[in-house]
Structure 1
Amino acid sequence: MGIDPNYRSKPVIGDHSGHKIYSPQDQPPVPKEKALGVHGTIVGVDFDVCIADGSCITACPVNVFQWFDTPGHPASEKKADPINEQACIFCMACVNVCPVAAIDVKPP
């Protein structure tokens, strides 16, 4: 199960490092009480799907991502956070290398 491509239509539940956080999937792949939702609008990362293998961080030519600690999260204890999503050049490298399809990229 990857990121919900319609996550942008879900409620915004917060803000983090200048980007929105969208409500978790209706049936997240982690326990609901530990669900973190999707971070980012242009570059969305489903924090509940992300396993933190780092391939997106390495592949991104414009440094969109930065590690963010998520201690105790069942999928991984850190996430690739799209803190610089405005720099995205829509090359889709991150989407193409993510082994769990946790990333979705769409122009604003």
Structure 2
Amino acid sequence: MNISATRARPFGSEACNHRCASGAANQPRETRASQIILEGTMGYTITVDHDKCTGDGECVDVCPVEVYELQDGKAVAVNEEECLGCESCVEVCEADAITIEEN
């Protein structure tokens, strides 16, 4: 069974603005993508510890580029290549189930 949740919070959170030097978090999705490509691609590895994940969907809601979905009651990074490295998901995860590492 796949359960999908969608982002409910606006882009441009304080955490995004603090971590994103390009200001891309405050731009429309198409603009963010082109800004990041122009600046060079930074890759991130996202790890979700499914033993810790409570499936509350906070990471899904807060992610400005829709990296996460809930599947079978757990967060899954389905669009890892879109990650901006803002770590908003890490901050809202009360279970400390998410880690992000720069490649």
The alignment partner of 2:64 has SS state of coil
Matches of 2:102 and 2:65, distance apart in 1: 15
Report the CA distance between 1:97 and its aligned residue. Answer: 0.3
The corresponding residue for 1:8 is none
The corresponding residue for 1:68 is 71
Q: TM-score, normalised by structure 2?
A: 0.56
The corresponding residue for 2:100 is 105
- Tell me which stretches of 4 or more aligned residues in structure 1 moved more than 3 Å: none
The alignment partner of 2:99 has SS state of strand
The corresponding residue for 1:54 is 57
Question: Which protein has greater RCO, CA pairs closer than 8 Å, 6+ apart?
Answer: 2
The corresponding residue for 2:87 is 92
The alignment partner of 2:102 has SS state of coil
**Cα-Cα RMSD:** 1.1
Report the CA distance between 1:67 and its aligned residue. Answer: 1.3
Percent identity of equivalent pairs: 40
Matches of 2:47 and 2:80, distance apart in 1: 9
Aligned length: 60
The alignment partner of 2:91 has SS state of helix
Unmatched tracts of structure 1, length 5 or more: 1-40, 70-77
Unmatched tracts of structure 2, length 5 or more: 1-43
Matches of 1:89 and 1:100, distance apart in 2: 21
